[in-house]
Amino acid sequence: MIRLERRPNPSQVWSYLTPVVALIATMIAGGAMFAALGSDPVEAIRLIFWDPLFGEFAFYYRAQILVKAGPLILIAVGLALGFRAGIWNIGAEGQYIMGAIFAAAVGLAFYPMEARWLIFPLMIVAGALGGFLWAMIPALLKTKFNTNEILVSLLLVYVAEQFLAKMSFGALRNPDGQGFPGSRNLSQYASTANPEVIAGTGAHWGVIAATIAVLVAAILLSRHRVGFDIKLMGVAPRAAAFSGVIPARMVILCLGISGALAGLAGMFEVTGPAGQITENFNQGYGFTAIIVAFLGRLNPIGILFAGLLIGLTYIGGDAAQSGMGLPLAAVQAFQGMLLFFLLAFDLLTQYRVRLGKAGVAA
Amino acid sequence: MTRAMPVMIGLAMGLMIPFVVHGNGAVGGALFLIAHLLVLLAVLLLLRFVPRIGRVLRTHRPSPAHMARMALGAAAGFAVICLSCTFFFGMPHPWT
């Protein structure tokens, strides 16, 4: 019989090495999967991990990595704060969608007025507000009725997707679009566009916001009383309650921050890379950010690197699709493997595998 | 004064902005004046019946943090009213 036994003193070094080992295991298992699909595994891994950084077209791919990593990092930082407090917001995707819709609606309300100094900051507030309000639904249901925030936030993603479809076919549809669904292109309207701040780097305002969020979260968690309360509530909720932490307030704070950051990510995406509200605007960033948060060990600095790594797999995956004809599902499975291996190795860091009969309780 | 109150005051101001902006000239000015007179009247009425408000007003001192919270509330209120304009009255057509 196989059983798991908790390690009395889990290795700190092994805990930090886990993401690296998980990455290597993903490369091996992913390579085997690509080989089973009839592709050269070494070539596929090279296309995913090496070419976007050092290949012939690296100058283009590197900028794209930042474009992909920006929203992932922004969402993951917010999620990590909640996860550390034991508050599981799985619906960041819905908050991301609502942030984008709110921001687009506010921006388009001013069309074609030219007042970037007013409209763009207002859209930032609207984006954060959209995500915040959407996150408040599971937060208030949890604090008032003790509902499960995992289920509520997850199911609200599908509600948000329906709302997105409704908006792209209805209120936000471009009146000059000859009946095609989708809003006006926000990236072509000077007051709402989110261009690169430094040309050629891919660093739009979303990337800058993500960097600021990482720094603020790192300071919050290491130097601030609120960060200490968040960590304490995750590790020892009873001790946190004795020390004066109010759980309901913490639920609202953590879900509010993660919702607002997810909404901000949606805002920066709809004004920049995506450009407009369409039925298929969302690309699963809210779900991928969960992988990023765990890959980064729920640490803001770790999340920065994890976001860049996942951004690399997105861009490398695209390159592998076009270069080797790999199916999209295989690339997505490859990304899923990363979380699987990470959780598996995490488990082995905390527990050891024992063979034999279970002991008798004393 | 609690930390939430300046946000609420800002929110109310933000919700009023489009009415003031769209009411050109004298109408906009009159709306602005009437709104503030109404708020003043409401506060005076409340002072008569809720003594706690008097205590809050006597002890309150404006601060940069108070202004920042009010500005944030105003931005949120303005965003909400713009949002409702788009959702309920549709996309604006270009006027230029």
**How does DSSP assign A149-192, residue by residue?**
HHHHHHHHHHHHHHHHHHHHHTTTS-TTSTT-SS---GGGSTTT
Top residue of A122, A189, A277 to mutate, by most chain B CBs within 10 Å, is: A122
Asked if the C-beta of A175 comes within 8 angstroms of chain B's C-beta atoms, the answer is yes
Asked if the C-beta of A115 comes within 8 angstroms of chain B's C-beta atoms, the answer is no
Q: Which residue of B has its CA nearest to A163?
A: B87
At residue A273, the 3 state secondary structure works out as: coil
Top residue of B17, B82, B89, B96 to mutate, by most chain A CBs within 10 Å, is: B82
Whole-Å CA distances, A144 to A4, A79, A130, A147, A256: 37, 22, 21, 8, 16
| Other Cβ atoms closer than 10 A to A42 | 11
Nearest to B86 among A109, A122, A125 (CB): A109
Whole-Å CA distances, A202 to A62, A100, A113, A270: 8, 20, 27, 15
Taking CB atoms and an 8 Å cut-off, how many pairs form between chains A and B?
A: 57
Please report the pLDDT score of residue A263 as a whole number: 97
| Other Cβ atoms closer than 10 A to B87 | 16
Please report the pLDDT score of residue B92 as a whole number: 65
By 3-state DSSP, what share of chain A in percent is helix, strand and coil, each rounded to 5? 70, 5, 25
Please report the pLDDT score of residue B96 as a whole number: 37
d(CA A81, CA B1): 29
Residues of chain B in contact with residue A121, where contact means CB-CB under 8 angstroms, are 75
Residues of chain A in contact with residue B82, where contact means CB-CB under 8 angstroms, are 105-106, 109-110, 122, 126
Top residue of A98, A101, A108, A249 to mutate, by most chain B CBs within 10 Å, is: A108
* Strand-pair partners of A80: none
B76·A129 Cβ contact <8 A: yes
CB A45 within 8 A of CB A24: no
B82·A110 Cβ contact <8 A: yes
Whole-Å CA distances, A12 to A17, A219, A291, A346, A350: 9, 22, 21, 12, 10
Query: Rounded to 5 degrees, what are φ and ψ at A359?
Result: -70, 160
Please report the pLDDT score of residue A143 as a whole number: 95
Residue of A66, A76, A70 whose CA lies nearest to A210:
A70
Q: Which residue of B has its CA nearest to A125?
A: B76
Q: Which residue of B has its CA nearest to A167?
A: B87
CB within 8 Å of chain B, chain A residues 263-322: none
CA distance A279 to chain B (A): 17
Amino acid at A130: G
CB A285 within 8 A of CB A314: no
Residue of A102, A67, A106 whose CA lies nearest to A192:
A106
CA distance B47 to chain A (A): 31
Q: Which residue of B has its CA nearest to A132?
A: B76
Residue of A95, A30, A80, A16 whose CA lies nearest to A290:
A80
pLDDT by residue, tens only, chain A of 362 residues:
788 888 888 888 888 888 889 999 999 999 999 999 988 999 999 988 898 998 888 888 999 999 999 999 999 999 999 999 999 999 999 999 999 999 999 999 888 888 899 999 999 999 999 999 999 999 999 999 999 999 999 999 999 999 999 999 988 998 888 888 899 999 999 999 998 888 888 889 999 999 999 999 999 999 999 999 999 999 999 999 999 999 999 999 999 999 999 999 999 999 999 999 999 998 899 999 998 998 898 999 999 999 999 999 999 988 888 888 888 898 889 888 988 898 899 888 888 888 876 665 54
A106·B76 Cβ contact <8 A: no
Please report the pLDDT score of residue B95 as a whole number: 46
Please report the pLDDT score of residue A360 as a whole number: 58
Asked if the C-beta of A125 comes within 8 angstroms of chain B's C-beta atoms, the answer is yes
pTM listed for this prediction: 0.88
Q: Which regions of chain A does DSSP assign to beta strands (E)?
A: 2-6, 351-355
A125·B76 Cβ contact <8 A: yes
Whole-Å CA distances, A260 to A79, A122, A266, A296, B18: 11, 14, 10, 20, 25
Read off the pLDDT band of B94 (50, 70, 90): low
Q: pLDDT digits over B39-83, tens only? A: 899 989 988 888 888 888 888 888 899 999 999 999 999 999 998
At residue A3, the 3 state secondary structure works out as: strand
Please report the pLDDT score of residue A358 as a whole number: 62
Residue of A21, A67, A23, A77 whose CA lies nearest to A303:
A77
Q: Residue B32 pLDDT more than 50?
A: yes
d(CA A293, CA A299): 8
d(CA A69, CA A315): 10
Please report the pLDDT score of residue A201 as a whole number: 84
Asked if the C-beta of A121 comes within 8 angstroms of chain B's C-beta atoms, the answer is yes
- Mention every residue, 6+ apart, whose C-beta is less than 8 A from residue A271: A103, A104, A107, A120, A123, A186, A187, A192, A193, A194
